[in-house]
Amino acid sequence: MSAYDEEETPFDRYRERVDRPLTRLFVEYAPGRLGWFSAGMVANFVARMASLVPPVLLGVAIDAIFAPDADAAAYSLPIVPDAWLPDGQMAQFEFTVIAIAVAFVAVAVFTWIYGVTANLFAHGVMHAVRVDSFRKMQRLDQTFFDDKQTGEVMAVLNDDTRNLEMFLDNALMDSLRLLVMVLGIAAVLFYLNWQLAFVTLFAVPAMFAFTIWFMKTVEPRYVRQRSAVARLNTRLENAISGMGLTKATATESYEVDRVRKSSRNFFDRTMDVLKLSYLYRPGMELLAGIAFAATFLVGGLWLATGTAPGPLTGTLSVGDFVVFLMLTQRIVDPLAQVSDIVDQYENAKASSERIFGLMDIDVAIEDAEDARPLPDPDARVEYVDVTFAYDNVLGDGDEETVIEDVSFVAEPGEMVALVGPTGAGKSTLLKLLLRLYDVDEGAIRIDGHDLRELQLADLREAIGYVGQETFLFDGTVAENIRYGQFDASDEAVREAAKAAEAHEFILGLPEGYETRVGERGTKLSGGQRQRIAIARVVLQDPPILVLDEATSAVDTETELAIQRSIERLTEDRTTLAIAHRLSTIRDADRILVLEDGRVVERGTHEELREAEGRYAALWSVQAGRVDEPAELPGDFS
């Protein structure tokens, strides 16, 4: 059963637009791999057919060689011309032994070939789908990632591609096996004795009917079981994260009680499923058993009395009777796969809808067809009447304007600082410059060119970003500094680290520049990560800088080091900076005070102080306690 099924998933919005997803999967990904696919199908077919050979040979041998009234003339096989078969019982016996051995070897060899080729096909498709969807994901707008959790996106790349693989490998091959076995066995039985075949094969439709009944009945129970386990997990997670509160309020027994109830509910729902699902296999075997008993009864009477029972006519040989009894046993296994096949088909359909849904998402922020390059910009940044609202996640059109009519200019080499309370829109203004989002009204220009006319890669290469949260990739310190400037020399990396005042501490790490930083850089402190990020920007050497000053607490010495390196970095570069400590922006060419997305004050530090408005009030608060870590008061962060 799939992990998703009935539940609404974050990708369902995109699914509805995809038509015939599995057909599309084949049309787009099967060509070029059809060789492996056909090889898998053929090998599977041969292996299954070969597995029918020993019982048939046994039946023939009984009638021609072993039975008291055996007659060498009775040695005859389906398909194979009699002229090819040996005369004389001893020769026939040897032929039978060799043929049985060959059949078993063929089953082994072709099962192996089928396994490898079918998987080369299935995993080949899976690999291509994974890479394609990841490539597409790299181009998706920031808006997409704003309302998706990492886990949800991972689920598409992992679970959904795996569902496709299961389908392409197991389900397709099992359906072929089902078809070959049921049709192959039916053909053999009808060839040997069509009248007895009717008696035996009445069980097949009954087994199909039973399977359909089973699937319909068990499905709603599975749904209830899944929601029970989801509730239990939520309860457990919640209880564990709330441990502190639980202890403080002495509500342990209350929590245990809540978990007990959820767990008991899960237990009951699971038993509902298991009672039924353990009925399936025995049920199928019972039906096969009934077919066996009926065949045994009719065939046995036929042999014992020497005349066909009831309305039946003709003769039945002992050998044919044995083949019938053996093959009746073989029908259960392939038929019991039906519910798995249907499941895998449903999962694959839903998964490929999600995958193609992802691949079909329109990308709004892309190079225009005639996008122009941005070589050696002077880096004059201009915001003209910029208005912007984030797309509402609910898509109900109820969007709140986050930036309203903001205009300002940063001449080449100037620094413009943004201050204002949390949520005023400072970070958003910077993200708009990186074109993570497009403005709704107005325009942002670099050297007079609207961002939307520029090649995205050029735009982003021209801008260096040092943010609040520093992300490092798992890899070495040097690799992280070099990220984006992959051919920079070791010397250049060192120089950049020195400029970021990071060289010293890097040398102090166990393996210097070759020290691995751990996933997301967890092995380094916040201040160290930040200096590596600054070194990365020094190496990038962009004409424009975007700084979102960190508020994380670092010791004074580190803070001073970071200050110095940032000051060096901002020289001669056009800089937009968010400042929390006003002391860092005293020398800014222009300071904008932002509130609710609007610029409420603007000017230099001196001008704003003299104006005695909001900035002046803030300044006096911060300047009054210079020896403490200067933080903005109240909701200013």
- Selection from 457, 559, 447 nearest residue 501 by Cα: 559
Find the binding residues for ligand ADP in span 127-146 (CB under 6 A): 146
Instruction: Kindly state whether residue 467 participates in binding ligand ADP, applying the rule CB under 6 A.
Output: no
Task: For residue 426, state whether it binds ligand ADP (rule: CB under 6 A).
Answer: yes
Q: What is the largest CA-CA distance in the chain?
A: 123
Q: Taking contact as CB under 6 A, which single stretch among the options 54-62, 269-277, 420-428, 447-455 is the one that binds ligand ADP? A: 420-428
Pairing, β 598-603 against β 590-595 = antiparallel
Comparison of 319 and 597: residue with beta carbon closer to ligand ADP: 597
Instruction: Using DSSP, state whether 202 is helix, strand or coil.
Output: coil
Minimum gap (Å) between residue 279 Cβ and ligand ADP: 50
Question: Would you give the distance in Å from CA 292 to the centre of its chain?
Answer: 46
3-class SS of residue 110: helix
402 binds ligand ADP (CB under 6 A): yes
The nearer residue to ligand ADP, 86 or 423, going by C-beta atoms, is: 423
Look up tokens 């011309």; give the residue: 81
Q: Which of residues 297-336 bind ligand ADP (CB under 6 A)?
A: none
Query: Closer to ligand ADP at the Cβ: 426 or 452?
Result: 426
Question: Exposure string (b/e) for 519-534, b if CB count within 10 Å is 16 or more?
Answer: eebeebebbbbbbbbb
- Residue closer to ligand ADP by CB (options 248, 394) is 394
Least CB distance to ligand ADP at residue 134 (A): 22
Only segment of 124-132, 416-424, 518-526, 533-541 that touches ligand ADP (CB under 6 A): 416-424
Minimum gap (Å) between residue 627 Cβ and ligand ADP: 27
Interface stretch with ligand ADP, choices 54-62, 252-260, 418-426, 441-449 (CB under 6 A): 418-426
Q: Please, what is the end-to-end C-alpha distance for the chain in angstroms?
A: 48
Beta carbon nearer to ligand ADP, 25 or 418? 418
Site membership for ligand ADP, residue 428 (CB under 6 A): yes
Taking alpha carbons only, the member of 53, 320, 296 closest to residue 194 is: 320
CB atoms within 10 A of CB 8: 8
Gap between the Cα atoms of 38 and 520, Å rounded: 44
The nearest distance, CB 402 to ligand ADP, in angstroms, is 4
**156 near 12, Cβ under 8 Å?**
no
Closer of 88 and 395 to ligand ADP (Cβ): 395
Contact 341/174 with Cβ under 8 angstroms?
Answer: yes
Please, which residues bridge with residue 466 across strands?
Answer: 547
Interface with ligand ADP: number of residues (CB under 6 A): 11
299 or 425, CB closer to ligand ADP?
425
How far is the C-alpha of 481 from the C-alpha of 486, rounded, in Å? 9
Q: Which stretch binds ligand ADP (CB under 6 A): 42-50, 303-311, 358-366, 426-434?
A: 426-434
User: What are the residues whose beta carbons fall under 8 Å from the beta carbon of 412, sequence distance 6 or more?
Assistant: 378, 379, 380, 543, 574
- Closest contact distance (angstroms) between CB of 507 and ligand ADP is 35
* Contact status: 424 vs ligand ADP (CB under 6 A): yes
The single-letter DSSP state of residue 399 is: P
Per CB under 6 A, which of residues 380..399 are in contact with ligand ADP? 390
Q: How far apart are CA 175 and CA 170, in angstroms?
A: 8
Of the residues 425, 464, 521, 542, which one makes contact with ligand ADP according to CB under 6 A: 425
| Lookup: tokens for 407 | 């205009």
Which residues on adjacent β-strands are paired with residue 446? 381, 449
Position among 427, 468, 525, 563 found at the interface with ligand ADP (CB under 6 A): 427
Listed ranges 51-59, 256-264, 415-423, 617-625: which one lies at the site for ligand ADP (CB under 6 A): 415-423
Closest separation in Å from C-beta 274 to ligand ADP: 44
What residues from 171 to 230 belong to the interface with ligand ADP (CB under 6 A)?
A: none
Closest to ligand ADP by CB, 103 or 430: 430
Torsion of CA 155, 159, 160, 165, to 10 degrees: 160
In 3D, which of 548, 550, 492, 498 has the Cα closest to residue 525? Answer: 550
Residues found near ligand ADP in the complex (CB under 6 A): 146, 390, 402, 420, 422-428
